[in-house]
Chains A and B, each alone.
Chain A
Amino acid sequence: MIRFENVGLRYGMGPEILKDLTFSIEPQSFQFLTGPSGAGKTSLLRLLFLSLRPTRGLISAFGTDTSRVTKSQLPALRRRIGVVFQDFRLLDHLTTYENVALPHRVAGKMEADYRSDVIDLLKWVGLGDRMHVMPPVLSGGEKQRAAIARALITRPEVLLADEPTGNVDAPLARRLLRLFIELNRLGTSVLIATHDLHLLEQVNARHLVLHDGRMIVDE
């Protein structure tokens, strides 16, 4: 689905922060991306999400060599990938409903076509009674769930989550993890970037460990 071959990344003339990464995210797989702070997890996520181009190596997404992808082709590829950011990236002037519906709106769909889907999903993540609330009023956990709902509303093939439990307490972290597992069961490949060891212990999944810019795959 997404394949890395000898990928390296450096910012400008700085040192190489990701070195010789070779791995792939298979369809319907579940994996954690972990490593110490500053190991390059967020940079790797940005590469996975096609918002950065590698300095060297090959990244193939859905069978397409990303170095050959033009700027106009990027949106179509990005719509197949859902991203949950650590800082949520919700738009404060839109309601929870409008934030979650944003990917559909951006795709040019009529509201009547997606309204019930958005409401269903909001209920599924436990925000059924918070859909007309602006993000600044939501708690950290609610924002996290809204961000997850926004990433899922278009049923992406891959879900990338950056520290999705970083801002929530342990019970909510477990609930969110269950959410990701359920999504994975429904067919979405999930990659969760985290350095929360407690979270890693709860699920028996593949670990992609980044250390000093290099990756160790722990099956």
Chain B
Amino acid sequence: MERREPALTRHEQAQRGGGPRPSGKAPKGPGGIRRSFKAPKKPVKKTQAGKRRIQKPRQAPIVPPQAVAGRALMLVVAIMSFLACLTVGFVTVVNDAATDWSNELVREITIQIRPVDGIDMLQQIDRTVALAQEFQGVGHVRALSDQETQELLQPWLGGDLNLDDLPVPRLILVKIAQPELLDLTEMKATIEDDIRGASLDDHRLWTQQLSSMANGAVVIGFGILILVLASMILSVVFATRAAMSGNKEVVEVLHFVGAEDSFIASQFQRHFLVLGLKGGLVGGAIGCLSFMLIEFLGNTPNEFGAAGQAQALLGTISVSWLGYVGAGLVVVLVAVLTALTSRIAVHSHLAGMD
């Protein structure tokens, strides 16, 4: 197609001597400019070593940071991160306590000898102690003394109990020095076959119940963690939508200068990543401080005896290193989730635009 050049008016033709000259000495056009104008030298500054280097000006973010409801959302993210860290701490404390209980129980078994007519109880006890000591891995074996047995039964049968008057079962405590060497099944079978009225209790029922309880606590903890993170994700979705609405003009301009949706999403995502990281760090730091505070308060006796009760239940109250690692992971997870959520929300918003 032949090029059609617009004709100028007389007034223009009289004025023309080339292209437009809005700045006095302007050349004929952008192509001409490249030849005529030199970009001004970038500012330079001397480093300590005396070398000159280019000082690169930092470009402003395309989405203005103040347009994102930053402070309120950061607070929400910080609170959610704190709750998530507390949940992680709680799970590790319960899990550690359950592991401790299990280990202690597994390292001790009890042999109960019920009275049988015509068989001397003391003789049976001696035989059982001797027999138990023959097994590999067994440490110390001892029968509860009469006094210890009386003390055990005192709450139910009173203080002036005469063991000879009643058919009271007797207990033998077996400490296990090396659990890996002990064949518990064989020991149980041997003792129960050889000693009449004997039964071996390896506390497996307790261990299983503790394990179930600990697993339940872990599952509940993860459930709470998921709910907390879900709440945070919803907050980020709402904040992203608000930010998109508040920056409608920016989005429109980006569209008409040819921005792809992924570019626009990345501009918003950058803000939310920083925001999520800041909120997560604040929440995680407060969470870690809370771990230390709980450890301090939980192991300090007070007038109400609450610390003692807690210690009786959980042992030494302390969040292990796993709890702190978990808190760190929560911070990273929160930042990543915040950024990803905002990205998906922006894409979803843009997809809905005409």
A binding-site residues for B, Cβ under 8 Å? 26-30, 49, 51-52, 71-72, 75-76, 78-79, 83, 89, 91, 93-95, 98, 102-103, 105-108, 111, 115-117, 119-121, 123-126, 128, 145, 150, 152, 154-155, 174-175, 178-179, 181-186, 201-206
Contact = CB atoms under 8 A, between A and B. Distances in A.
21 contacts: A29-B4, A51-B255, A72-B261, A76-B258, A78-B256, A91-B250, A102-B257, A106-B258, A119-B40, A120-B30, A120-B39, A123-B37, A124-B23, A125-B23, A126-B23, A178-B16, A184-B6, A185-B5, A202-B12, A204-B8, A205-B7
Interface residues of B, number: 47
Nearest to A88: B253
Given A94-B60, A124-B22, A203-B9, A28 B4 contact: yes
Nearest to B353: A71
Contacts of B59: 98, 105, 111
A29 B9 CA distance: 18
A95 B279 CA distance: 30
A101 B215 CA distance: 58
A178 B28 CA distance: 11
Contact of A125 (B5, B22, B28): B22
Is chain B's binding surface mostly helix, strand, loop or mixed? loop
Contacts of A106: 254, 257-259, 263
A91 B253 contact: yes
Is chain A's binding surface mostly helix, strand, loop or mixed? helix
Top 4 closest A-B pairs, CB basis?
A: A126-B22, A79-B258, A116-B39, A204-B7
Interface of B: 1, 3-9, 11-12, 16, 19-20, 22-23, 26-31, 33-34, 37-40, 56, 59-60, 62, 64, 249-250, 252-261, 263, 351, 354
Given A78-B258, A123-B33, A203-B7, 9 more contacts: A78-B256, A107-B258, A116-B34, A117-B30, A155-B30, A182-B19, A186-B31, A202-B9, A203-B9
B29 A186 contact: yes
Contacts of A72: 260-261
A102 B11 contact: no
B6 A103 contact: no
Nearest to A1: B1
A89 B249 contact: yes
Contacts of A125: 22-23
